[in-house]
Amino acid sequence: MTFKRIQVAADSVCDLPAEIVNNLDIRIIPTYVNIDDQSIPDDGARLDRQAFYRQLPSMRAQPTTSAPSPGEAEAFYRDMLNDGAGKIVSIHVPERLSGVLNTMRLGARAVDEGRVTLVDSLQLTFGIGFQVWAAAELAVEGASLDDILEAIERVRQHTEVYAIIDTMQYLQRSGRVNSLVAGIGTLLKIKPIVRVADGDITSLARSRTWSRAEAKLKALTQDQAPLDRLAILHIDNRVGAERFLDSIREIAPQETHIIEVCPTLGAHIGPGSIGVATLKQDWRN
Amino acid sequence: MSSCRGKNSVDGKALKLALASAIAQFSRHVDRINEMNVFPVPDGDTGINMYHTLQRAYSEISHLDDSDVAEVSRRFAYGALMGARGNSGTILSQLLKGFAEQLQTAEALDTPQFALACKRAAQFAYEAVTSPVEGTILTVAREAAETLDLHANDVMALPDALDILVRAAQASLRRTPELLPILKESGVVDSGALGLVLFLEGLASSDGKFDFPGKAESPVAAGPGALMDSSSDASYGYDVQFLMLGKGLNIAQIRQDLGQVGWSLLVVGDDSAVKVHIHVDNPALPIDYAVQSGATLDDIVVENMELQFQRRPRRETSFAATPKHQAREAYGMIAVAPGDGLRAVFEDLGCEAVIPGGQGRNPSVEDFLVSIDSVNAASLFILPNNRNIILTARQAAENAAERRVDVLPTTSVIQGISALIALRSFEDSGEDVSGGLDSALSEMRAAAQQVCSIEIARATRDSRLGGLAIRCGDFLATGDGQILVAGATIEASMLDALAKVLKAEHELVTLYYGDDIQEREAKKLIERLSFTYSELEFDLVYGGQDLYPFLIGLE
């Protein structure tokens, strides 16, 4: 009987850095950013993040984003199976916010539905990343599918993703989170402190100034300590991210990453924002 | 002719007529009271607020014919409470409420009761104000009542008691600048206090009727009552004032004689100078009488009251509240804001009702109650957003039926907006607002206090304030009730004001531009401000407010 390896896969919205992806043999399918009539895969190579965010404020039309095609999803899974994967755990951006899971489901059906387990991460950016990371580690260790799925669930329960939305103008134009936008109002500049959970983005607090928003973000982050893993998230605001990390240095674990959020998400949120993804130590208990 | 001063009490009918006469007289002084504003910004609305309060009060008694003093005073006070606008109107309503409460078992009003009622009135007014300021209408009400209390006795005629009260109030009014430095600096007396004195003078000058309840049916007595009834065809007559100069002038005789030719008579002075103020159908009669008496006449003023009545300020009824929710909410929010832009801002932040108003346009208790009724929520917060509206809002809150209504004492729309955002933030955090109204309130209060505000207004006259020479037409920047700077242009005064007020912790400057400012103009201004303050974030929002080209929030 041949060894049936479990392959972990995800879409590019998980924001895992290349070294983790490569070391743990994680397969990533890129989502797309559409600028004017160009559709660019958000794979960290063909779309330059820095250049994209610098140009975003002056773009004539706000870029849109899209899921991979079903054909690409099918090819993505077929490649993994051809490479000897026995089963695939495929972890994705929430169905509530994106069409990715739907196309991945179509792709899986076209290949072998029984061998692909689709997971709605109910999270965004590194909130997905933590799940993918933990799943891949377990897969490398030879854990069972059930153990991996159970670990993903535990990671999810111990994860928080918070962010300061510097300006609501991008979310307003994006139309993806209308409930959030409608609640915040549109006439004044307000910086909501948002929480990503259960596949949705909700406001936790509203501030008109950055410093008060950042104080709130800091308090929320500190409430999660002790941490197993931490990502400081930013959109074209590395200086802000580093300054924030300095302010919570005492609770930052060994595994702390500063992550520039992918354009697929960033196009909807806009430059300037910072956030955190936290994973509590408790998840391992 | 026998003296008309023998009666020691009045009944309800006489009280009603006296009130009508006093209000009619008060209406003539509205502008004068308005002009007594201590700031050169156009916030002179004391007179119009008090007048509206009195008008609304009278509407409650205008149809009463055979009511006793208790009923007339109670209903008048109720009307004042419902119509109270502005600080002075609200305090006036409290004075009337206290006065009425003292008379609740009285059929007729005599001197001892009158003195007690005046004392009770002052007490009520003081209790209505969180931190009473001396040198205002409160001081005048209290000192006048105290003086009357000292002199009143069982045998004193009511008109004499009223005379003592008026004189004491006048003396107290003259002392207000000594008690309130801002008045002295501006060379004025307190406008609300002046309003009270004029109202009391009006009561006193209705002497003849106050004294003669039996005359109520006479055509002369019906004059002032008709003045309050705009549907009546009755003539309003002329208002005549003059000064009689001479030797050995007999005030009592003059009062008695002139009482025959007109109504709303006021005769004050001494044996060498007597001021006469009377309403007549024929202005020649009192003047002729004075000339015939051998006195020298001075300061003759004749005004056509009919024309004045037609030109009187009318209360705006364009009142709009916006009930938004069908199901009963746990709590709702009512704000007062001037301008369509600011209204939209409050609505955008989830305010259930926005009452148009602000500086120079204070909503009444009734406006608040209508708005409270329109919001289907178990409890309510009110953001008055103006110093002069807080008391009225509190009155409304106390009178709201079966609901908890909290008034957050916001003194500017800037504070109100901050408080509202804080409430929304509190909700966002998952806190149960309806279960913890007090914590919600303290969050809102903290947010309101954190924000600084600057108002830019145009000075309406030359003046000197806080060491600043202000020219008419200057742009005046005020903050937290203090004058900051005056400049020839909006930009100059704004830059100077920012330099004065900005602190290191400030990050965001929000500018709400008024109805007479073009968006293009405002944007250019922001560009120049961002050049000077490149580290600050600016937010330009259409406010649409009148009087203030810009309202500015700093946080």
Q: Which residues pair with A109 in a beta bridge?
A: none
- Name, in order, each residue with C-beta under 8 angstroms of B112's C-beta and a sequence gap of 6 or more: B152, B153, B154
What is the mean pLDDT of the segment spanning A40-56? 92
Q: Which residue of B has its CA nearest to A205?
A: B425
Indicate the class that CATH gives domain B238-304. Answer: alpha beta
B424 CB neighbours in chain A (<8 A) are: 183, 206
pLDDT at B210: 44
Q: Which residue of A has its CA nearest to B424?
A: A206
Torsion of CA B58, B60, B62, B68, to 10 degrees: -100
Measured distance CA(A100)–CA(A118) in Å, rounded: 11
Residue B39 confidence (pLDDT) above 50: no
CA distance A181 to chain B (A): 11
- Name, in order, each residue with C-beta under 8 angstroms of B101's C-beta and a sequence gap of 6 or more: B77, B120, B124
- Determine the straight-line distance between the first and last CA of chain A, rounded to whole angstroms: 34
CA distance A210 to chain B (A): 8
pLDDT at A198: 96
- Pull the structure tokens for residue A4: 């049936």
Specify the CATH architecture of the domain B453-554. 2-Layer Sandwich (3.30)
**Average pLDDT of every residue of chain B:** 82
Cβ contact, residue pair A207, B539, below 8 Å: no
Q: Does B442 touch chain A (CB under 8 A)?
A: no
Measured distance CA(A52)–CA(B59) in Å, rounded: 69
The predicted-structure confidence for B155-189, as pLDDT tens digits, reads as follows 788 988 999 999 999 999 999 888 888 788 777 88
Q: Does B519 touch chain A (CB under 8 A)?
A: no
Residue B322 confidence (pLDDT) above 90: no
Could you tell me what percent of chain A has a pLDDT over 70?
99
Q: Which residue of B has its CA nearest to A192?
A: B425
pLDDT at B117: 96
Cβ pair B52, B315 in contact under 8 A: yes
Select the residue of B418, B429, B510 nearest A204 (Cβ to Cβ): B429
pLDDT bracket for residue A174 (50, 70, 90): confident
Q: Does B415 touch chain A (CB under 8 A)?
A: no
The predicted-structure confidence for A189-210, as pLDDT tens digits, reads as follows 999 999 999 999 999 999 999 9
A240 CB neighbours in chain B (<8 A) are: none
- Name, in order, each residue with C-beta under 8 angstroms of B407's C-beta and a sequence gap of 6 or more: B381, B382, B384, B390, B393, B394, B397
Cβ contact, residue pair A209, B425, below 8 Å: no
Measured distance CA(B54)–CA(B38) in Å, rounded: 23
Q: Is this complex's ipTM strictly greater than 0.90?
A: no
Q: Which residue of A has its CA nearest to B539?
A: A189
Select the residue of B348, B350, B555 nearest A208 (Cβ to Cβ): B555
pLDDT at B230: 29
pLDDT at B305: 65
The predicted-structure confidence for B48-65, as pLDDT tens digits, reads as follows 889 988 998 999 998 888
The B residues from 340 to 359 touching A (CB cutoff 8 Å) are 344-345, 348-350
pLDDT at B206: 74
The predicted-structure confidence for B86-97, as pLDDT tens digits, reads as follows 778 878 988 999
Indicate the class that CATH gives domain A5-31+67-157. Answer: alpha beta
Residue A159 confidence (pLDDT) above 70: yes
Q: Which residue of A has its CA nearest to B418?
A: A208
Q: Which residues pair with B243 in a beta bridge?
A: B275, B298
Residue A1 confidence (pLDDT) above 70: no
Which of the residues B340, B347, B429, B530 would you substitute to probe the A interface, choosing the one with the greatest number of A C-beta atoms within 10 Å?
B429
Each domain of chain A, given as residue ranges in start order, spans 5-31+67-157, 159-284
CATH number of A159-284: 3.30.1180.10
CA distance B478 to chain A (A): 23
From residue B342, alpha-carbon distances to B266, B322, B345, B515, B544 in Å are 47, 14, 5, 11, 7
The predicted-structure confidence for B237-252, as pLDDT tens digits, reads as follows 777 777 788 888 887 7
pLDDT at B266: 62
Measured distance CA(B486)–CA(B494) in Å, rounded: 9
pLDDT at B297: 87
Cβ contact, residue pair B349, A202, below 8 Å: no
Residue B447 confidence (pLDDT) above 90: yes
Each domain of chain B, given as residue ranges in start order, spans 9-227, 238-304, 329-450, 453-554
pLDDT at B84: 78
B508 CB neighbours in chain A (<8 A) are: 189, 208-209
Q: Does B539 touch chain A (CB under 8 A)?
A: yes
Residue B66 confidence (pLDDT) above 80: yes
Measured distance CA(B11)–CA(B14) in Å, rounded: 5
From residue B499, alpha-carbon distances to A196, B462, B470, B484, B485 in Å are 41, 24, 19, 10, 10
pLDDT at B75: 94
What is the mean pLDDT of the segment spanning B399-414? 91
- Decide: helix, strand or coil at residue A69: coil
CA distance A164 to chain B (A): 13
A188 CB neighbours in chain B (<8 A) are: 345, 348-349, 417, 421, 510, 539, 541
Cβ contact, residue pair B348, A204, below 8 Å: no
Measured distance CA(A196)–CA(A198) in Å, rounded: 7
Q: Which residue of A has its CA nearest to B430?
A: A204
Type of residue found at A42: D
Cβ pair A174, A201 in contact under 8 A: no
Q: Which residue of B has its CA nearest to A213?
A: B425
Residue B321 confidence (pLDDT) above 70: no
pLDDT at B214: 30
Which of the residues A206, A211, A220 would you substitute to probe the B interface, choosing the one with the greatest number of B C-beta atoms within 10 Å?
A206
pLDDT at A284: 93
> Per DSSP, which regions of B320-398 are E strands?
329-337, 353-356, 377-383
Which positions in chain A have a beta carbon within 8 angstroms of at least one beta carbon in chain B? 183, 185-190, 192, 202-211
- Decide: helix, strand or coil at residue B299: strand
- Name, in order, each residue with C-beta under 8 angstroms of B317's C-beta and a sequence gap of 6 or more: none
What is the mean pLDDT of the segment spanning A115-141? 97
pLDDT at B213: 33
Whether B9-227 and B329-450 share one fold: the answer is: no
Q: Phi-psi category of A232—alpha, beta or left, where left has phi over 0 and alpha has psi -120 to 50?
A: beta
Q: Phi-psi category of B466—alpha, beta or left, where left has phi over 0 and alpha has psi -120 to 50?
A: left
pLDDT bracket for residue B270 (50, 70, 90): low
What is the mean pLDDT of the segment spanning A16-37? 93
Q: Which of B148, B138, B93, B89 is nearest to B118 (CA)?
A: B148
pLDDT bracket for residue B267 (50, 70, 90): low
The predicted-structure confidence for B135-159, as pLDDT tens digits, reads as follows 999 999 999 999 999 888 877 889 8
Q: Which residue of B has its CA nearest to A202?
A: B428
Cβ contact, residue pair B537, A189, below 8 Å: yes
Residue B219 confidence (pLDDT) above 70: no
B417 CB neighbours in chain A (<8 A) are: 188
pLDDT at B37: 62
Type of residue found at A264: T
pLDDT at B307: 65
CATH domain B329-450 topology: Rossmann fold (3.40.50)
Could you tell me what percent of chain B has a pLDDT over 90?
43
Q: Which residues pair with A116 in a beta bridge?
A: A88
pLDDT bracket for residue B226 (50, 70, 90): very low
CATH number of B9-227: 1.25.40.340
Residue B276 confidence (pLDDT) above 80: no
Radius of gyration of chain A (CA): 18
- Determine the straight-line distance between the first and last CA of chain B, rounded to whole angstroms: 73
pLDDT bracket for residue B496 (50, 70, 90): very high
Lowest mean pLDDT among B30-44, B176-190, B293-307, B312-326: B312-326
Which of the residues A160, A177, A187 would you substitute to probe the B interface, choosing the one with the greatest number of B C-beta atoms within 10 Å?
A187
